[in-house]
């Protein structure tokens, strides 16, 4: 059956399940495309217009994925409702079959009682022996037919119970799949969101630096999310001598030696405090302590070729989890 036709078949469990699976499948496809275009945008960062175009496509894929999830949600609820209704109908059929079986057993017992009465009449009256034997035979035939019907009903009951168990199992599987997909959505939303310096982190960061003489600090970052995060950190350094000219640039070229040292010692996505041999190491340590107190992972890297006493902080791109 074509999925377009299934969209209107709201009262059929198989149709609702098919539409739900269809929408969930497209949601996964769009989430995959979101990750793909996000990676392409990262590799195309040298071309700002191309990177923004890829990011917009990724956002469109994310919107479509969320839309697919939103459309799949009522079908998930409808599937649960139809599964419960089908289970209730099966239970009602089972109860009706039980009642019918009990009635047939009663009929069989009555037939056996009549047979015994016929035997008594045969013993009492030889003249009616043949007639009584015919009635006994008829009663036995009725009893056998009733027993056969009872066996048939028992088999139908077993099939109905099996169908109800399968429907319950399918409903549980769909519920589990929904929970997994919702967890994936929350994780992807966390990867897309900007890093934020919370008020608690800001207070702890400022508290560690409160007793320190304010020394010059330079900041560098690419444009976009790294620049926004860098400016949040800079806003916590009110009164300090901050050089923010390197924040928000479209292309960042580090010295090859410094870049090699960073790649060898620094995990991706964390702020980097880099300095030369002539820098005040006590100032470097207090910056590290401020980041640690705020719960922000940061790494200090010494660059031997840097002959100045400058301390700089580089905020790299966020690494998706």
DSSP class per residue in 88-103: HHHHHHHHHHHHHHHH
User: How many other CB atoms sit within 10 Å of the CB of residue 121?
Assistant: 15
Residue ranges of domains in the chain: 3-192, 199-315
Tokens of 84: 């419960």
Tell me what pLDDT residue 7 has: 54
C-alpha distances in Å from residue 301, one per residue of 73, 168, 214, 228, 290: 49, 58, 21, 23, 16
- How far is residue 165's CA from residue 158's CA, in Å, rounded to a whole number? 11
Tell me what pLDDT residue 132 has: 47
Per-residue pLDDT of the chain (321 residues; tens, 9 = 90+): 454 554 557 778 788 888 888 888 998 998 899 899 888 888 887 888 888 898 889 889 999 989 988 888 888 888 888 888 888 888 888 888 888 888 888 887 887 888 787 777 746 767 654 774 777 578 788 878 878 887 887 888 788 788 878 877 886 786 687 676 665 555 655 567 899 999 999 999 999 999 899 999 999 999 999 999 999 999 999 999 999 999 999 876 666 666 555 555 556 567 888 888 888 999 999 999 999 999 998 888 888 777 788 899 999 888 776
HEC string of 159-205 equals HHHHHHHHHHHHHHHHHHHHHHHHHHHHHHHHHHCCCCCCHHHHHHH
- How far is residue 226's CA from residue 300's CA, in Å, rounded to a whole number? 18
Residues 48 and 250: beta-carbon distance below 8 Å: yes
Tell me what pLDDT residue 122 has: 43
């Amino acid at each position: 059956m074509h999925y377009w036709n299934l969209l209107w078949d709201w009262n059929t469990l198989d149709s609702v399940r098919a539409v739900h699976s269809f929408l969930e499948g497209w949601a996964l496809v769009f989430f995959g495309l979101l990750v793909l275009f996000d990676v392409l945008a990262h590799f195309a960062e040298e071309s700002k217009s191309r990177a923004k175009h890829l990011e917009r496509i990724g956002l469109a894929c994310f919107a479509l994925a969320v839309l697919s999830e939103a459309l799949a949600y009522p079908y998930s609820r409808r599937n649960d409702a139809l599964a419960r209704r089908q289970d209730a109908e099966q239970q009602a059929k089972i109860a009706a079959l039980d009642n019918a079986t009990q009635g047939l057993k009663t009929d069989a017992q009555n037939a056996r009682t009549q047979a015994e009465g016929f035997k008594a009449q045969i013993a009492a009256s030889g003249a009616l022996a043949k007639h009584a034997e015919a009635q006994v035979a008829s009663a036995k035939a009725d009893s056998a037919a009733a027993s056969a019907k009872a066996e048939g009903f028992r088999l139908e009951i077993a099939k109905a119970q099996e169908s109800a168990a399968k429907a319950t199992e399918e409903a549980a599987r769909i519920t589990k799949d929904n929970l997994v997909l919702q967890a994936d959505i929350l994780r992807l939303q966390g990867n897309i969101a900007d890093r934020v310096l919370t008020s608690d982190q800001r207070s702890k960061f400022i508290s560690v630096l409160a007793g320190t003489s304010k020394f010059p600090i330079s900041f560098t970052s690419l444009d976009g999310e790294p620049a926004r995060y860098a400016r949040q950190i800079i806003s916590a350094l009110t009164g300090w001598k901050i050089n923010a000219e390197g924040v928000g640039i479209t292309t960042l070229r580090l010295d090859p030696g410094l870049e090699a040292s960073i790649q060898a010692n620094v995990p991706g996505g964390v702020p980097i405090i880099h300095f030369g041999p002539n820098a005040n190491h006590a100032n470097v340590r207090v910056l590290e302590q401020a980041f640690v107190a705020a719960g922000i992972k940061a790494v200090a890297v010494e660059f031997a070729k840097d002959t100045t006493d400058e301390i700089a902080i580089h905020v790299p791109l966020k690494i998706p989890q």
